[in-house]
């Protein structure tokens, strides 16, 4: 993708709204970097839509706007003009638009205060948000094995979810199926198990796709801390990702 005012706007959205993915995207070649900024800007816009208002109907309308964009992309017709939607239409395929529509639909959980129905419901949320995002990101960079990417995304998603627990609970959400120390520890362990499976399949992920995979590496310290000290989750004491992460990632395998 050639640089434009839209791509500059997307990069600024990601830098402000998702510093981790901004720094990992900067490790990609310039052409692919632009594609990641578009995709990640879309994710920022969607993920914050449920939180910019306390009116459920308005939040639903904001998410529906993005679902309408993705439907336009999937149908291959004219797509409305927007600094993120316009370059997104040039980036993704109709099949990827369908996946990202599921990502937007999953974000409806963020609007309401209902708990997840069961473990499968939480798993579906993680897969449709973190999983779909990482899979599309990896796909625009190269041809990777989906199983390894999905496992890495599960680790990244659970790590981010555990770091968000205090804010979610403060907002009146019920983010944990089992908030006991053992339940939190088990959830963190499942993320570490997924990361281990992803790394076993590292050979099936081309090096070109590494920038898309790095959020999984970034989640590892939080997952380990949550496994050993579950109380750190509710206290908001899990390690965050500093700028030093990207420097280490630049010279290390995910």
Angle of helix 146-170 versus helix 132-141 axis, rounded to 10? 140
pLDDT of residue 210: 94
Query: Confidence class of residue 248 from pLDDT cuts 50, 70 and 90?
Result: low
Other C-beta atoms within 10 Å of 231: how many? 10
Q: How many residues are present in the chain?
A: 254
The average confidence (pLDDT) of the chain is 94
pLDDT of residue 135: 98
Residue 25 near residue 56, CB atoms below 8 Å = no
Cα–Cα distances in Å, from 159 out to 59, 134, 156, 213, 242? 25, 14, 5, 14, 15
Query: What is the C-alpha to C-alpha distance for residues 19 and 16, in angstroms, rounded to an integer?
Result: 6
Pick from 39, 51, 50: which is nearest to 13 by CA?
39
Can you tell me which residue has the tokens 């993705």? 70
Residue 127 near residue 97, CB atoms below 8 Å = no
pLDDT above 80 for 155: yes
Residue 133 near residue 153, CB atoms below 8 Å = yes
pLDDT above 80 for 172: yes
Query: Confidence class of residue 245 from pLDDT cuts 50, 70 and 90?
Result: low
Tell me the percentage of the chain whose pLDDT exceeds 70.
Answer: 95
HSE (CB half, 13 Å, CA atoms) of 18? Answer: 24
Sequence-distant (6+) residues with CB within 8 A of 147 are 197, 201, 204
Domain regions of the chain by residue span? 1-112, 115-254
Four-point Cα dihedral 200, 37, 61, 55, nearest 10: 80
pLDDT above 90 for 174: yes
Residue 217 near residue 205, CB atoms below 8 Å = no
Query: What is the C-alpha to C-alpha distance for residues 107 and 142, in angstroms, rounded to an integer?
Result: 27
Query: What is the C-alpha to C-alpha distance for residues 139 and 149, in angstroms, rounded to an integer?
Result: 10
Which tens digit of pLDDT belongs to each residue from 109-131? 999 999 999 999 999 999 999 99
Query: Confidence class of residue 203 from pLDDT cuts 50, 70 and 90?
Result: very high
pLDDT above 90 for 73: yes
Q: Could you write out the DSSP letters of every residue in 99-139?
A: HHHHHHHHGGGGGS-PPPSSHHHHHHHHIIIIIHHHHHHHH
């Amino acid at each position: 993708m050639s640089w434009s005012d839209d791509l500059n706007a997307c990069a600024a959205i990601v830098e402000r709204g998702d510093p981790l993915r901004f720094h990992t995207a900067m490790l990609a070649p310039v052409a692919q970097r632009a594609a990641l900024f578009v995709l990640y800007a879309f994710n920022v816009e969607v993920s914050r839509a449920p939180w910019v208002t306390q009116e459920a109907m308005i939040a639903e309308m904001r998410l529906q706007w993005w679902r309408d964009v993705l439907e336009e992309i999937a149908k291959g017709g004219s797509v409305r003009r927007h600094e993120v939607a316009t370059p997104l239409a040039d980036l993704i395929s109709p099949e990827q638009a369908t996946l990202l529509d599921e990502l937007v639909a999953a974000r409806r959980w963020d609007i309401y205060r209902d708990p997840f129905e069961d473990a499968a419901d939480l798993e579906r949320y993680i897969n449709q948000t973190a999983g779909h995002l990482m899979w599309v990101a990896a796909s625009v960079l190269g041809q990777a094995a989906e199983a390894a990417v999905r496992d890495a995304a599960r680790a990244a998603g659970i790590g981010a979810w555990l770091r968000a627990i205090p804010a979610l609970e403060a907002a009146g959400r019920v983010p944990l199926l089992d908030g006991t120390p053992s339940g939190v520890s088990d959830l963190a362990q499942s993320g570490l198990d997924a990361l281990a499976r992803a790394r076993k399949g590292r050979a099936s992920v081309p090096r070109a796709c590494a920038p898309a995979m790095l959020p999984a590496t970034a989640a590892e310290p939080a997952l380990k801390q949550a496994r050993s000290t579950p109380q750190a989750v509710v206290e908001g004491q899990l390690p965050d990702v500093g700028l030093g992460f990207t420097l280490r990632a630049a010279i290390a395998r995910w």
